[in-house]
Structure 1
Amino acid sequence: MNQSVGDRAVVLGGSIAGTFSARVLSEFYREVIVVDRDQVVSVSRPRRGTPHAGHAHGLHARGCLILEELFPNLLRDLRHAELPVGDLGEQRWYFNARPFRSTRTGLPSVTAQRPVLEGYFRDKVAALPNVTFLERTDVLGFLSTPDARRVTGVPGAFEGSECRKCIRSRRRSARRRHRPRIAYSGLAGGAGIPATGRAADDDRSGLHHTALPTLPGHAQRHAIHQLHHITPVPARAFFGQVDHTTCILSLTGILGDHPPTDPDGFLAFAKTLPVADVYEQIRHAEPLSAPACFRFPASVRRHYERLPRLPERLLVLGDAVCSLNPNYSQGMTVAAMEVMALHRHLSRGTPSTVAFMRAVGRIVDNPWFISTTSDLKYAGMKGPRGLTARSGNAYVTRLHHAAVKDPAVTNALMRVAGLIDRPTALIRPRVLLSAMRRQGSGSGPAR
């Protein structure tokens, strides 16, 4: 344990971001309490708080490298459990129906199911002697000093068998009494607080995911460490192995073109993909469940870093700051980057809320730019298409063509997608020259 910052820290939410936060806080606080309204410890199946957990997920590059620091032997443990761990550039990537040239990047990629990854991290954190998970407990709000400059407590109510109406009643009652059930000296985690002063950015995509776990027989031998990422307008597919017996196919549609949830409709949608081997590998596969739909109406970012004043001892991260389009597999990595910023701030003592939120804002800038700018290449997507978006998407289209022949371009794209490099790395001379030589055909940015 590092030098103690305080006696107790409370994490609101046992999500990925909350679990990572608890791991970091355990080094600086004598006691860490994680509060969640669900049962979360030793749960390896999708739960109500994570409706997207049944779909294809990826923990890539920078996220893996950071989490190897927080959870030593992570990749070794996952391989030992026969979970798919591979190289990001050696997976099969298709953009606009064109295959990227495979290359070894040295960047790790994990495509295990989200509940399995969550269970691994959560069990490791729950085993720490100074961490307690307070499950099936509802948070009733925040308590603060009279001038609202510092948060002083978190009142909570055990949910048990109570209905939601009873919980709401207890919340109102607790606010009137101002009696905290939990006192603390610091707070961090994936829980939201009301935004004051500025509205959140909203990138509205109307995204629908439909996933089907399958056991694809002969395809099983060929899907190991492979991910199909197909991006014609407007459909995408993510197909790959999630453990030693199972593959998952997630189909994505936007702007009203949504994958159906009935088995026949799901298969028919897969048949329309411009890369035929996805359909060919699943049409005789044994489905392990009915197709499951997850709707993601919009990417949302809350700019806490722009506020001139925030309550001290209240730190916000994870989806409570920025909920990113899941197509780009950035969420877990961004959470890992945020908790490492938390570690740096705690190493200097009790962190300033304003300073920490500015650090989080800087972390979110690049993944937000990548995902929202990429979404604007679709003609029906609403949003301002300035010169940066138009020229950037046109240039990335050239890079996609170049990556079909040039493994160096594949490597550059994977490093940016894995949040190792900033997008400006794509205009380095070697990559730029390849893009200019291989313009290729295809649609430019939406105008």
Structure 2
Amino acid sequence: MANQLGDHAVVLGGSVAGSLAARMLSDHYRKVTLVDRDTLFGPDGPRHAVPQGHHIHALLARGQQILDELFPGFTDELVSIGVPIGDFGTSLSWYFNGEMIQKAETGLICVAAGRPLLEARLRGRVSALPNVTYRERTDILDLVAAPDRGRIIGVRVQGKDAAEPEVLQADLVVDATGRGTRTPKWLEQLGYPRVPEERVKMELTYTTCDFHGPLEFDPIGDDIALLPVATPAMPRGAIFARLPDRYAISLTGILGDKPPTDMHGFMEYVKSLPVPEIYKAVRDAKPMGEPQTFHFPASIRRRYERMSRFPDGLLVVGDAAAVFNPVYGQGMTVAAIGATVLGKHLGLGVPQPQAYFRDLAKVVDGPWDMAAGADLGFPGVEGKRSLKTKIGNTYIPRLQAAATRDGVLSAAFLRTAGLVDPLTALMKPGVISRVFRGPR
């Protein structure tokens, strides 16, 4: 093992972020243990601890690239079991204010795997590593600190069938427990300052229903999905996708507009979408079960990089650091990007938390500005509206409108939405010129 940094690393949470963190840690620690309260291996459906697992998930282009870098052949493996893939700009039909932007080749791959399948394949790759162990059905009780509380030296856990808790000693603990993270609370109990937070409150509700195929009228065909994106002018949104064994519609509503869970109400909501082809496709289709709903109150960014003190031996990754409005499909991809930051710091030696969190903040800035900025375009959404946010919410809708006539702008926008290019790429003179003057 090159650059061994310690004997044991413990990852809290066995989802996407946790598995990717374990992959990075496996190159530098003799043993890596992932701890999760759920049963991770065996179930083929959404896990109890991941209620959003019922809904359509997107692996954005940059996420797909990173997974293929870390696990060679990962995308080919998914294709071999029937997962649809396609170009991000031609296999997806993107609608803003009821108008579809022009399709354009981007060279970026979209992977249409549901979250349970993607997680299962990812865990299969990580669990095959000889020094990685998943501990299922184990509750995480609290962190264990050194006597001076300046370093985290382990975590106290208890298996579902165990009579007593136990302490897992660790050289490094990584929190990947997602939205329910307790690290801020634990830090305060250890005498550390409150973790600064940013919140954007949009009160999102997702409702998803799966349908048997084939469809009598299929507007997707060999493509992957139709996406009428919610905008302030048309605040109801949806994703209508072709998955390996079914079709699915995820409906979205914000600020108290809740897509219903009864089939009649669900279909009426589908009928209200600005893309009538979706209702036409499923009005006579057979549902595979009752619609499932999920409430997401707010995006939260925990600014660990702004803390004056932080213990050694502890890091935070994925949604435990920043949880995004799932409408934009950024969560899994930002977790993958964050894993590359972790890998970079492991390559430099024992990670120093403050340096790590500064670099993590840099890669989270772009996706956060995109998602939070778009949400703040809705007048009723609560959050801080900076000058940058106001400029973006004036410019981006004009770009999207111009992209209905200009495939170059479609490709530029989708490369940014896919987290391959930075948001600043949309502010290049050549792009701005096409937005305001049209293509030459």
TM (normalized to structure 1)?
Answer: 0.91
Deviations 1:24-58 (A, max 9, x none): 11111111100000011243210111100111111
Question: Quick check: 1:181 aligned with 2:167?
Answer: yes
Residue matched to 1:443: none
Contact 1:137 1:156 in 2 (8 A): yes
Q: Which contiguous aligned blocks of 4+ residues in structure 1 show a shift greater than 6 angstroms?
A: none
Residue matched to 2:212: 215
Residue matched to 1:206: 203
Residue matched to 2:284: 284
Give the Cα separation in 2 of the matches to 1:412 and 1:272: 30
Residue matched to 1:370: 370
Residue matched to 2:190: none
The aligned runs of 1:11-410 (5 Å cut-off) are 11-90=11-90, 91-160=92-161, 181-191=167-177, 192=181, 193-194=183-184, 196-216=193-213, 217-219=215-217, 222=221, 224-232=223-231, 233-243=234-244, 245-410=245-410
Deviation at 1:393, TM superposition (A): 1.0
SS at match of 2:52: coil
Residue matched to 2:430: 430
SS at match of 1:237: strand
Contact 1:94 1:100 in 2 (8 A): yes
Amino acid at match of 2:203: G
SS at match of 2:281: helix
Deviations 1:37-88 (A, max 9, x none): 0011243210111100111111011111111111110111111111011111
Give the Cα separation in 1 of the matches to 2:62 and 2:322: 18
Gaps of 5+ in 2: 188-192
Contact 2:369 2:389 in 1 (8 A): no
SS at match of 2:238: strand
Percent identical pairs in the alignment equals 40
Give the Cα separation in 2 of the matches to 1:137 and 1:380: 41
Give the Cα separation in 2 of the matches to 1:16 and 1:33: 15
Give the Cα separation in 1 of the matches to 2:104 and 2:162: 53
Amino acid at match of 1:197: R
Give the Cα separation in 2 of the matches to 1:372 and 1:342: 24
Deviation at 1:255, TM superposition (A): 0.8
Contact 2:154 2:173 in 1 (8 A): no
Give the Cα separation in 2 of the matches to 1:160 and 1:359: 40
Deviation at 1:227, TM superposition (A): 3.1
Contact 1:126 1:133 in 2 (8 A): yes
Amino acid at match of 1:209: Y
Deviation at 1:371, TM superposition (A): 0.6
Contact 1:36 1:134 in 2 (8 A): yes
Contact 1:41 1:126 in 2 (8 A): no
Give the Cα separation in 2 of the matches to 1:42 and 1:20: 20
Contact 2:175 2:314 in 1 (8 A): no
Amino acid at match of 2:208: A
Deviation at 1:388, TM superposition (A): 2.1
Deviation at 1:291, TM superposition (A): 0.3
Deviation at 1:219, TM superposition (A): 4.3
Give the Cα separation in 2 of the matches to 1:386 and 1:201: 13
Give the Cα separation in 1 of the matches to 2:72 and 2:250: 30
Give the Cα separation in 1 of the matches to 2:68 and 2:258: 37
Gaps of 5+ in 1: 163-169, 175-179, 440-447
Contact 2:154 2:172 in 1 (8 A): no
Single out whichever of 383-392 and 84-93 deviates more from structure 2. Answer: 383-392
SS at match of 2:194: coil
Amino acid at match of 2:414: M
Contact 2:203 2:256 in 1 (8 A): yes
Contact 2:204 2:254 in 1 (8 A): yes
Amino acid at match of 1:205: M
RMSD: 1.7
SS at match of 2:89: helix
SS at match of 1:109: strand
Deviation at 1:348, TM superposition (A): 1.4
Work out the number of aligned pairs and report it.
Answer: 423
TM (normalized to structure 2)?
Answer: 0.93
